[in-house]
Chains A and B, each alone.
Chain A
Protein backbone atom coordinates (compact mmCIF):
# COMPACT_ATOMS: atom_id res chain seq x y z
CA UNK A 1 0.00 0.00 0.00
CA UNK A 2 1.28 3.47 -0.94
CA UNK A 3 -0.26 6.95 -0.67
CA UNK A 4 -1.45 8.74 -3.78
CA UNK A 5 0.36 11.88 -2.67
CA UNK A 6 3.70 10.69 -1.36
CA UNK A 7 5.37 13.06 1.10
CA UNK A 8 9.08 13.57 1.74
CA UNK A 9 9.87 11.02 4.46
CA UNK A 10 12.83 12.99 5.77
CA UNK A 11 10.73 16.14 6.03
CA UNK A 12 8.13 14.20 7.98
CA UNK A 13 10.33 12.26 10.37
CA UNK A 14 13.81 13.77 10.65
CA UNK A 15 13.27 15.95 13.73
CA UNK A 16 11.50 13.12 15.58
CA UNK A 17 14.26 10.64 14.74
CA UNK A 18 16.96 13.19 15.65
CA UNK A 19 15.33 13.67 19.04
CA UNK A 20 15.18 9.90 19.67
CA UNK A 21 18.81 9.50 18.59
CA UNK A 22 19.91 12.11 21.12
CA UNK A 23 17.77 10.42 23.78
CA UNK A 24 19.58 7.14 23.08
CA UNK A 25 22.94 8.87 23.40
CA UNK A 26 21.85 10.47 26.66
CA UNK A 27 20.57 7.12 27.98
CA UNK A 28 23.93 5.49 27.26
CA UNK A 29 25.85 8.35 28.86
CA UNK A 30 23.59 8.09 31.92
CA UNK A 31 24.02 4.32 32.28
CA UNK A 32 27.80 4.61 31.93
CA UNK A 33 28.01 7.58 34.31
CA UNK A 34 26.02 5.65 36.92
CA UNK A 35 27.98 2.42 36.46
CA UNK A 36 25.30 -0.01 35.23
CA UNK A 37 27.06 -1.11 32.07
CA UNK A 38 27.11 -4.79 33.08
CA UNK A 39 23.31 -5.09 33.09
CA UNK A 40 22.32 -7.75 30.53
CA UNK A 41 19.67 -5.43 29.10
CA UNK A 42 22.25 -2.74 28.44
CA UNK A 43 24.59 -5.26 26.84
CA UNK A 44 21.73 -6.49 24.65
CA UNK A 45 20.90 -2.89 23.78
CA UNK A 46 24.47 -2.21 22.65
CA UNK A 47 24.45 -5.42 20.65
CA UNK A 48 21.21 -4.42 18.92
CA UNK A 49 22.68 -1.06 17.95
CA UNK A 50 25.02 -2.88 15.60
CA UNK A 51 21.99 -3.82 13.48
CA UNK A 52 21.51 -0.17 12.53
CA UNK A 53 24.29 -0.67 10.00
CA UNK A 54 22.29 -3.27 8.03
CA UNK A 55 19.14 -3.37 5.94
CA UNK A 56 15.76 -4.36 7.49
CA UNK A 57 17.03 -2.69 10.66
CA UNK A 58 13.77 -2.76 12.62
CA UNK A 59 13.31 -6.48 12.15
CA UNK A 60 16.94 -7.22 12.93
CA UNK A 61 16.94 -5.08 16.08
CA UNK A 62 13.82 -6.91 17.27
CA UNK A 63 15.40 -10.28 16.45
CA UNK A 64 18.54 -9.29 18.32
CA UNK A 65 16.46 -8.63 21.46
CA UNK A 66 14.39 -11.84 21.13
CA UNK A 67 14.58 -15.29 22.67
CA UNK A 68 15.73 -17.37 19.67
CA UNK A 69 14.90 -20.77 21.20
CA UNK A 70 11.97 -22.83 19.95
CA UNK A 71 10.92 -25.10 22.82
CA UNK A 72 8.21 -24.44 25.40
CA UNK A 73 9.61 -23.70 28.87
CA UNK A 74 8.61 -26.13 31.66
CA UNK A 75 6.80 -23.54 33.75
CA UNK A 76 6.19 -19.78 33.78
CA UNK A 77 7.70 -18.40 36.98
CA UNK A 78 6.95 -14.77 36.18
CA UNK A 79 4.41 -12.89 34.08
CA UNK A 80 6.56 -9.98 32.93
CA UNK A 81 8.93 -9.56 30.00
CA UNK A 82 12.00 -7.33 30.34
CA UNK A 83 12.81 -6.42 26.73
CA UNK A 84 15.97 -8.51 26.30
CA UNK A 85 16.73 -12.22 26.39
CA UNK A 86 18.54 -12.86 29.69
CA UNK A 87 20.36 -15.96 28.39
CA UNK A 88 21.94 -14.29 25.38
CA UNK A 89 25.65 -15.14 25.26
CA UNK A 90 27.82 -12.04 25.72
Chain B
Protein backbone atom coordinates (compact mmCIF):
# COMPACT_ATOMS: atom_id res chain seq x y z
CA UNK B 1 0.00 0.00 0.00
CA UNK B 2 0.97 3.65 -0.29
CA UNK B 3 0.22 6.19 2.41
CA UNK B 4 0.95 9.71 3.64
CA UNK B 5 2.09 10.32 7.22
CA UNK B 6 0.45 13.74 7.68
CA UNK B 7 1.62 14.39 11.25
CA UNK B 8 4.92 13.10 12.64
CA UNK B 9 7.59 14.78 14.76
CA UNK B 10 10.53 13.22 13.00
CA UNK B 11 13.16 15.36 14.74
CA UNK B 12 12.44 13.09 17.74
CA UNK B 13 12.75 9.84 15.80
CA UNK B 14 15.57 7.67 14.57
CA UNK B 15 16.73 6.79 11.08
CA UNK B 16 15.38 3.27 11.74
CA UNK B 17 11.92 4.85 11.87
CA UNK B 18 12.45 6.52 8.51
CA UNK B 19 13.50 3.17 7.05
CA UNK B 20 10.48 1.37 8.51
CA UNK B 21 8.07 4.01 7.23
CA UNK B 22 9.46 3.95 3.71
CA UNK B 23 9.41 0.16 3.58
CA UNK B 24 5.77 0.24 4.78
CA UNK B 25 4.80 2.46 1.82
CA UNK B 26 5.08 6.01 3.16
CA UNK B 27 5.25 8.51 0.28
CA UNK B 28 5.57 11.76 2.25
CA UNK B 29 5.88 12.87 5.86
CA UNK B 30 4.58 16.16 7.27
CA UNK B 31 6.01 17.61 10.46
CA UNK B 32 4.24 20.29 12.50
CA UNK B 33 6.21 22.47 14.91
CA UNK B 34 5.54 21.34 18.48
CA UNK B 35 6.63 21.37 22.11
CA UNK B 36 10.08 19.89 22.58
CA UNK B 37 9.21 18.44 25.99
CA UNK B 38 10.73 21.49 27.64
CA UNK B 39 10.18 25.24 27.32
CA UNK B 40 12.63 27.06 25.08
CA UNK B 41 14.23 30.05 26.78
CA UNK B 42 14.05 32.50 23.88
CA UNK B 43 12.89 33.05 20.31
CA UNK B 44 16.41 32.09 19.19
CA UNK B 45 15.62 28.50 20.16
CA UNK B 46 12.65 28.58 17.80
CA UNK B 47 14.70 30.12 15.02
CA UNK B 48 17.05 27.15 15.22
CA UNK B 49 14.10 24.75 15.40
CA UNK B 50 12.51 26.28 12.29
CA UNK B 51 15.85 25.88 10.49
CA UNK B 52 15.87 22.24 11.56
CA UNK B 53 12.31 21.73 10.24
CA UNK B 54 12.90 23.47 6.92
CA UNK B 55 16.48 22.55 6.13
CA UNK B 56 18.12 19.76 8.12
CA UNK B 57 15.18 17.37 8.59
CA UNK B 58 14.15 17.36 4.90
CA UNK B 59 17.72 16.40 4.06
CA UNK B 60 17.67 13.58 6.62
CA UNK B 61 14.37 12.29 5.18
CA UNK B 62 15.71 12.60 1.62
CA UNK B 63 18.41 10.06 2.46
CA UNK B 64 15.54 7.56 2.59
CA UNK B 65 13.83 8.91 -0.52
CA UNK B 66 11.04 10.42 1.56
CA UNK B 67 9.68 13.92 0.81
CA UNK B 68 9.47 15.92 4.05
CA UNK B 69 7.16 18.91 4.67
CA UNK B 70 6.73 21.13 7.70
CA UNK B 71 4.29 23.44 9.48
CA UNK B 72 5.44 26.39 11.60
CA UNK B 73 4.21 28.02 14.80
CA UNK B 74 4.79 28.32 18.51
CA UNK B 75 2.79 25.51 20.07
CA UNK B 76 0.07 26.24 22.66
CA UNK B 77 2.11 24.74 25.51
CA UNK B 78 4.55 27.65 25.18
CA UNK B 79 1.92 30.27 24.37
CA UNK B 80 1.31 31.34 27.95
CA UNK B 81 4.31 33.68 27.63
CA UNK B 82 2.78 36.26 25.29
CA UNK B 83 6.02 38.19 24.65
CA UNK B 84 7.92 35.04 23.70
CA UNK B 85 5.04 33.91 21.49
CA UNK B 86 4.87 37.25 19.68
CA UNK B 87 8.63 37.18 19.08
CA UNK B 88 8.35 33.68 17.61
CA UNK B 89 5.37 34.56 15.41
CA UNK B 90 7.39 37.48 14.03
CA UNK B 91 9.99 34.98 12.79
CA UNK B 92 7.54 32.87 10.82
CA UNK B 93 7.00 34.97 7.63
CA UNK B 94 10.67 34.64 6.73
CA UNK B 95 10.37 30.84 6.91
CA UNK B 96 7.12 30.68 4.92
CA UNK B 97 9.28 31.30 1.84
CA UNK B 98 11.02 27.95 2.26
CA UNK B 99 10.11 25.17 -0.16
CA UNK B 100 8.80 22.54 2.26
CA UNK B 101 6.50 24.73 4.39
CA UNK B 102 2.80 23.83 4.15
CA UNK B 103 1.30 26.35 6.53
CA UNK B 104 0.75 27.36 10.15
CA UNK B 105 0.63 24.56 12.70
CA UNK B 106 0.15 22.87 14.98
CA UNK B 107 -1.53 25.81 16.66
CA UNK B 108 -4.45 25.57 19.05
CA UNK B 109 -5.11 25.33 22.77
CA UNK B 110 -3.64 23.21 25.56
CA UNK B 111 -5.22 24.20 28.89
CA UNK B 112 -7.78 26.57 27.34
CA UNK B 113 -6.30 29.73 28.85
CA UNK B 114 -6.78 33.35 27.79
CA UNK B 115 -3.19 33.76 26.63
CA UNK B 116 -3.34 30.54 24.61
CA UNK B 117 -6.41 31.93 22.84
CA UNK B 118 -4.70 35.28 22.20
CA UNK B 119 -1.80 33.51 20.50
CA UNK B 120 -4.13 31.22 18.57
CA UNK B 121 -5.87 34.31 17.18
CA UNK B 122 -2.52 35.81 16.16
CA UNK B 123 -1.57 32.59 14.35
CA UNK B 124 -4.91 32.49 12.52
CA UNK B 125 -4.41 36.11 11.52
CA UNK B 126 -0.96 35.24 10.16
CA UNK B 127 -2.43 32.37 8.14
CA UNK B 128 -5.08 34.69 6.71
CA UNK B 129 -2.55 37.38 5.81
CA UNK B 130 -0.24 34.93 4.04
CA UNK B 131 -2.99 32.63 2.67
CA UNK B 132 -1.65 29.57 4.46
CA UNK B 133 -3.21 26.23 5.37
CA UNK B 134 -3.84 25.75 9.10
CA UNK B 135 -3.20 22.65 11.23
CA UNK B 136 -4.79 22.75 14.67
CA UNK B 137 -3.89 20.81 17.81
CA UNK B 138 -6.80 20.18 20.19
CA UNK B 139 -6.18 19.77 23.93
CA UNK B 140 -5.62 16.51 25.74
CA UNK B 141 -8.03 14.32 27.69
CA UNK B 142 -10.42 16.25 29.96
CA UNK B 143 -9.59 19.55 28.23
CA UNK B 144 -10.35 18.38 24.69
CA UNK B 145 -14.12 18.89 24.53
CA UNK B 146 -14.03 22.47 25.76
CA UNK B 147 -10.92 23.37 23.77
CA UNK B 148 -12.24 21.95 20.52
CA UNK B 149 -15.46 23.94 20.78
CA UNK B 150 -13.55 27.14 21.61
CA UNK B 151 -11.20 26.61 18.64
CA UNK B 152 -14.03 25.89 16.21
CA UNK B 153 -15.96 28.96 17.37
CA UNK B 154 -12.89 31.18 17.08
CA UNK B 155 -11.86 30.09 13.58
CA UNK B 156 -15.44 30.10 12.27
CA UNK B 157 -15.78 33.69 13.44
CA UNK B 158 -12.96 34.78 11.08
CA UNK B 159 -14.59 35.22 7.67
CA UNK B 160 -11.19 35.26 5.94
CA UNK B 161 -10.62 31.59 6.76
CA UNK B 162 -11.96 28.86 4.46
CA UNK B 163 -12.81 25.85 6.69
CA UNK B 164 -11.73 23.59 3.83
CA UNK B 165 -8.16 24.82 4.34
CA UNK B 166 -8.13 24.03 8.06
CA UNK B 167 -7.52 20.61 9.60
CA UNK B 168 -8.41 20.16 13.26
CA UNK B 169 -6.44 17.27 14.72
CA UNK B 170 -6.66 14.74 17.54
CA UNK B 171 -10.43 14.21 17.24
CA UNK B 172 -12.25 11.63 19.31
CA UNK B 173 -15.84 10.45 19.46
CA UNK B 174 -17.01 13.45 21.51
CA UNK B 175 -15.39 16.09 19.28
CA UNK B 176 -15.60 14.68 15.74
CA UNK B 177 -19.14 15.90 15.12
CA UNK B 178 -18.29 19.46 16.26
CA UNK B 179 -15.49 19.66 13.69
CA UNK B 180 -17.21 17.83 10.84
CA UNK B 181 -20.44 19.85 11.15
CA UNK B 182 -18.42 23.08 10.97
CA UNK B 183 -16.95 22.08 7.59
CA UNK B 184 -13.34 21.58 8.68
CA UNK B 185 -11.11 18.64 7.92
CA UNK B 186 -10.36 16.38 10.88
CA UNK B 187 -7.40 14.31 12.03
CA UNK B 188 -7.46 11.07 14.02
CA UNK B 189 -4.28 10.49 15.99
CA UNK B 190 -3.36 6.89 16.68
CA UNK B 191 -1.83 6.58 20.15
CA UNK B 192 -1.55 3.47 22.31
CA UNK B 193 -3.26 5.08 25.34
CA UNK B 194 -4.50 8.63 24.84
CA UNK B 195 -6.34 9.87 21.73
CA UNK B 196 -7.52 7.04 19.37
CA UNK B 197 -6.74 3.39 18.91
CA UNK B 198 -6.95 2.03 15.36
CA UNK B 199 -10.33 0.33 15.89
CA UNK B 200 -11.83 3.55 17.29
CA UNK B 201 -10.39 5.63 14.46
CA UNK B 202 -11.99 3.28 11.94
CA UNK B 203 -15.27 3.51 13.88
CA UNK B 204 -15.17 7.30 13.51
CA UNK B 205 -14.50 7.05 9.79
CA UNK B 206 -17.40 4.61 9.45
CA UNK B 207 -19.63 7.09 11.30
CA UNK B 208 -18.63 10.33 9.57
CA UNK B 209 -17.28 9.08 6.23
CA UNK B 210 -13.73 9.30 5.02
CA UNK B 211 -13.97 12.39 2.82
CA UNK B 212 -12.56 14.97 5.25
CA UNK B 213 -10.71 12.78 7.75
CA UNK B 214 -7.15 11.53 7.88
CA UNK B 215 -5.19 9.37 10.30
CA UNK B 216 -1.75 10.14 11.68
CA UNK B 217 0.73 8.70 14.16
CA UNK B 218 1.87 12.04 15.65
CA UNK B 219 4.94 10.06 16.65
CA UNK B 220 7.29 12.08 18.82
CA UNK B 221 9.52 11.69 21.88
CA UNK B 222 6.69 10.15 23.94
CA UNK B 223 4.88 6.81 23.77
CA UNK B 224 3.88 6.65 20.11
CA UNK B 225 4.18 4.36 17.10
CA UNK B 226 5.71 5.62 13.83
CA UNK B 227 3.96 2.86 11.87
CA UNK B 228 0.56 3.53 13.44
CA UNK B 229 -0.92 4.64 10.08
CA UNK B 230 -0.17 1.42 8.16
CA UNK B 231 -1.27 -0.52 11.26
CA UNK B 232 -4.62 1.29 11.05
CA UNK B 233 -4.81 0.33 7.38
CA UNK B 234 -4.34 -3.27 8.46
CA UNK B 235 -7.23 -2.78 10.92
CA UNK B 236 -9.43 -1.67 8.03
CA UNK B 237 -8.35 -4.73 6.03
CA UNK B 238 -9.41 -6.96 8.95
CA UNK B 239 -12.86 -5.42 8.73
CA UNK B 240 -13.13 -6.22 5.03
CA UNK B 241 -12.14 -2.97 3.31
CA UNK B 242 -10.54 -3.32 -0.11
CA UNK B 243 -7.30 -1.79 -1.39
CA UNK B 244 -9.14 0.92 -3.32
CA UNK B 245 -10.76 2.23 -0.13
CA UNK B 246 -7.47 2.07 1.76
CA UNK B 247 -5.80 4.12 -0.94
CA UNK B 248 -8.59 6.69 -0.70
CA UNK B 249 -8.30 7.02 3.09
CA UNK B 250 -4.55 6.80 3.57
CA UNK B 251 -3.22 8.42 0.40
CA UNK B 252 -5.71 10.27 -1.76
CA UNK B 253 -7.50 12.13 1.05
CA UNK B 254 -4.39 13.59 2.70
CA UNK B 255 -2.98 14.45 -0.74
CA UNK B 256 -6.23 16.29 -1.56
CA UNK B 257 -6.00 18.46 1.57
CA UNK B 258 -2.24 19.03 1.47
CA UNK B 259 -2.23 19.86 -2.27
CA UNK B 260 -4.01 23.09 -1.41
CA UNK B 261 -0.51 24.26 -0.53
CA UNK B 262 1.56 24.96 -3.65
CA UNK B 263 4.58 23.55 -1.80
CA UNK B 264 3.10 20.06 -1.50
CA UNK B 265 4.48 18.30 -4.52
CA UNK B 266 5.32 14.60 -4.44
CA UNK B 267 5.00 13.87 -8.15
CA UNK B 268 2.72 11.30 -9.66
A contact residues vs B (CB 8 Å cutoff) = 1-7, 12-13, 56, 58-59, 62-63, 65-70, 72-85
Interchain CB contact under 8 A, B146 and A12: no
Complex Cα distance, B238 from A56, in Å, reads: 23
Main secondary structure of the interface of B (DSSP, over half): helix
Interchain CB contact under 8 A, A65 and B111: no
The smallest C-beta distance from B36 to any residue of chain A, in angstroms, reads 12
Q: Which of B9-17, B23-31, B137-145 contacts A (4 or more CB under 8 A)?
A: B137-145
Per-position 1/0 for B91-129, Cβ under 8 A of A = 000000000000000000011111111000000000000
Interchain CB contact under 8 A, B240 and A65: no
Interchain CB contact under 8 A, A62 and B145: yes
Interchain CB contact under 8 A, B173 and A66: no
Could you list 26 examples of A-B contacts with CB < 8 Å?
A1-B245, A3-B239, A4-B242, A6-B239, A7-B239, A58-B200, A58-B203, A62-B145, A62-B172, A62-B173, A62-B174, A63-B145, A65-B142, A66-B145, A67-B142, A72-B112, A72-B113, A72-B150, A73-B111, A73-B112, A73-B113, A75-B115, A76-B111, A76-B115, A82-B141, A83-B141
Partner of B241, one of A3, A65, A73, A78: A3
Complex Cα distance, B147 from A66, in Å, reads: 10
Number of A-B contacts (CB under 8 A): 101
Interchain CB contact under 8 A, B141 and A81: yes
Interchain CB contact under 8 A, A75 and B144: no
Interchain CB contact under 8 A, A6 and B240: yes
Interchain CB contact under 8 A, B144 and A66: yes
Complex Cα distance, B140 from A21, in Å, reads: 24
Per-position 1/0 for B165-192, Cβ under 8 A of A = 0000000111000000000000000000
- CB neighbours (8 Å) of B236 from chain A are 3
- CB neighbours (8 Å) of A78 from chain B are 111
- CB neighbours (8 Å) of B144 from chain A are 62, 66
Q: Which of B227-267 contact A (CB under 8 A)?
A: 236, 238-242, 245
In the complex formed, the residue of A with least CB distance to B146 is A67
Enumerate the 6 nearest inter-chain pairs by beta-carbon distance, A residue then B residue, closest first.
A3-B240, A5-B240, A76-B111, A81-B141, A81-B140, A62-B174
The smallest C-beta distance from B181 to any residue of chain A, in angstroms, reads 14
Partner of B149, one of A1, A56, A70, A75: A70
- CB neighbours (8 Å) of B203 from chain A are 58
| B80, B174, B206, B245 interface centre (most CB from chain A within 10 Å) | B174
In the complex formed, the residue of B with least CB distance to A17 is B199
* Cβ-based interface call for B65 (8 A): no
Complex Cα distance, B141 from A85, in Å, reads: 9
- CB neighbours (8 Å) of B7 from chain A are none
| A6, A68, A81 interface centre (most CB from chain B within 10 Å) | A81
The smallest C-beta distance from B152 to any residue of chain A, in angstroms, reads 12
Interchain CB contact under 8 A, B112 and A83: no
